[in-house]
Amino acid sequence: MTHARTRIKICGLTREADVDAAVAAGADAIGFVFYAKSPRHVTPARAAELAKRLPPFVMPVGLFVNADAAQLAEAQAALPQMLLQFHGDETPADCARAGRPFIRAARMTPGFDLLDFAQQFSCAQAILLDAHVEGYGGGGKVFDWSLIPGNVPSPVVLSGGLHAGNVAEGMLRVRPWAVDVSSGVEQAKGLKDAALIRQFCAAVRDADAQIAALPPT
């Protein structure tokens, strides 16, 4: 089967210039963080301003951590076309209650049963694999990719400490449907670096070409 290109999500954007840089580099999705304790947090109103810069077919994604119904409703009203991404302790019922397509983050650690988790969240558009750290989010840390079983029933988004120097290795080992980067393309927390974004996207495309050239398995 022909290798499909790996989708790219740049997460944690807070500035117009960063949105423009991500779009210019070929990102497929832009992430806005609605978790107030994150240094990359934006309000729904601010995210809506930034999302106006997105051309057709570039998807805004909203990251939530244990948000209540009012917070979800406010963000969805501001960005009606947004894909939801849940990073907290949300249950399958919590995610479904939002009534919108969603991605569910899994915090990878030894002993974590990813297959059972993916089965519980079978309604998710994809399972995002991130490092397990104190609090919520990956903290820019790479987790042990050998923890990922080869038969995850949902599309996989590889995240956690990715940057231009390691994303190709992650793609070759995991073969994810998409990759997600935040701190790996930053000059400071919440402030992206256009050159690093370009380098990351170029590295993903190079890895796609390597994968496409491999003999069929």
Average pLDDT over residues 132-150: 75
Task: Kindly tell me if the per-residue pLDDT of 1 is higher than 50.
Answer: no
Domain of residue 25, CATH code: 3.20.20.70
> Nearest 5°: CA angle at 204, between 111 and 100?
65
Please report whether residue 2 resides in a domain: no
For 166-202, the pLDDT digits (tens) are 999 999 999 999 999 999 999 998 899 999 999 999 9
Mean pLDDT rounded to a whole number for the chain: 93
11, 18, 28, 201: which is the annotated catalytic residue? 11
Q: Is 123 a catalytic residue?
A: no
Q: Which of 18, 28, 130, 180 is catalytic?
A: 130
The pTM score is 0.94
Task: Assess whether pLDDT exceeds 50 at residue 44.
Answer: yes
Per-residue pLDDT for 136 more than 90? no
The answer to whether residue 19 scores a pLDDT higher than 80 is yes
Q: What percent of the chain has pLDDT over 70?
A: 94
Q: Is residue 46 part of a domain?
A: yes
Domain assignment present for residue 21? The answer is yes
Query: Three-class SS string for 122-168?
Result: CCCCEEEEEECCCCCCCCCCCCCHHHCCCCCCCCEEECCCCCCCCHH
Provide the 3-class DSSP secondary structure of residue 180.
Answer: strand
Find the range with the poorest average confidence among 5-14, 35-44, 114-123, 133-142.
133-142
DSSP state of 177: S
In a domain, 1, yes or no: no
**Average pLDDT rounded to a whole number, residues 158-173:** 96
> What total of structural domains would you count in the chain?
1
Query: 206 is in which domain, residue-wise?
Result: 7-213
Q: For this structure, is 11 an active site residue? A: yes
